[in-house]
Amino acid sequence: MVLDTVQVKSHSHAHPSFHILGQEIVVDLPIPALVLAFLGAGVAFRYLISFLRLILELTIIPGTNIKSYKSKTGSYALVTGCTSGIGLEFAKQFAGKGYNLILLGRRQTALDDLVKEISGKYKVDCKTVMVDLGDASSRAKGFAQVEKLAQELDVAVLVNNAGVSHEVCVIFNETPHEEIDAIVQTNILGTLHLTRTVLPYLVARSKKGSKSLILNVGSLDGRIPAALLAAYSCTKGGLQTWTKALAWELRGTGVQALMVQPAFVISNMSKIRRASLTVPTAKAWVKSCLSSIGSAGGAQGRAYEMTPYWSHAIMDYAAGFFGYPSEMIGMWVVDYMHKDIRKRWLRKKARESKKSE
């Protein structure tokens, strides 16, 4: 038996209807309720798609091949903060993919040691510039050298990795003014002025048909406001907004700007020495980054951002899943964690003080 009309009991005498394949569909729902139902289905579909995309990007779908930014004649990757941690791994892994290097750091001896190691193992050309990104006079002198190198060499990639944080988790009301200055000078002014120095040459090479990349290393402490690291969190959040504005300006130029978001990684800055599910080695984190260029990972729905390492991606995705409630939970967790870190640091200092008496 074929029904010509689908009806649901109603107290109303007149219902809107429409036809599908010759069948009349009578709607026994208020129009506002029907609209809300469609909107709810759309939101649910959006979350389903973003979750599936997250899983696929973390497991199957590769990012842009990092070698695609390199010319056949030999291009350079410029890496800041390259003598330890994440920056050191960026230098090594770019060299492993055939890039020559321009290495920026504060200590010439450390830069020289790194050049010996990398040039001996990977047979690439390495240039060094000693510069303290947190010092205006040092920046002026160092960036003049950088600009000269950018004029002479084919710089294809800029990795803004250098950054400083607080000595230990501390409330803003007790943060030394000198520490605030150092964080802002290095993380914000150093990054912006270096990018401004190199960017014209990246745009120029892209006009000749070669792609270029600016990779800014952020932090989930900028994605989720981090109590007890307020100044550091401020700078990373600022870089996040700046990266997006810069990326928008660079549309159509062939220069791609991305913000990559790590959580804790084994490094001198994090003061963590043991790897775990949520704390990868710098080597593992950089590998995931360079294999995921252009893939959002945990930064689903946020333009020009990527959170590539799998456990960090899950944390980032979860922090944004329910909007305001998720962010508040994330802030509570970060606050608890940072207070615990401070307590342990104070206990350690007390023990050291007793030993020295």
**Residue type for position 276:** S
Structural tokens at position 119: 């040039």
Burial class (CB in 10 A: 0-12, 13-18, 19+), 331: middle
**Catalytic residue, candidates 69, 99, 122, 232:** 232
Q: Which one is catalytic: 70, 99, 236, 304?
A: 236
Do residues 114 and 120 make contact, with C-beta atoms less than 8 angstroms apart? no
Strands 155-160 and 255-260: unpaired
Measured N-to-C along each axis, helices 324-356 and 310-321 cross at an angle, to the nearest 10 degrees, of 130
Q: Tally Cβ neighbours within 10 Å of residue 85.
A: 20
- Active site annotation includes 121: no
Mark out the alpha helices in the chain (DSSP H runs).
31-59, 85-96, 108-122, 136-152, 177-184, 191-207, 220-223, 230-249, 282-290, 310-321, 324-356
304 part of the active site: no
State the number of CA atoms in the 13 A half-sphere of 8 facing the CB: 9
What is the distance in angstroms between the CA of the first residue and the CA of the last residue of the chain? 96
Bridge-based pairing of strands 126-130 and 100-105 is: parallel
Which among 300, 175, 298, 283 is positioned nearest to 226, based on CA atoms?
175
Catalytically active residues are 232, 236
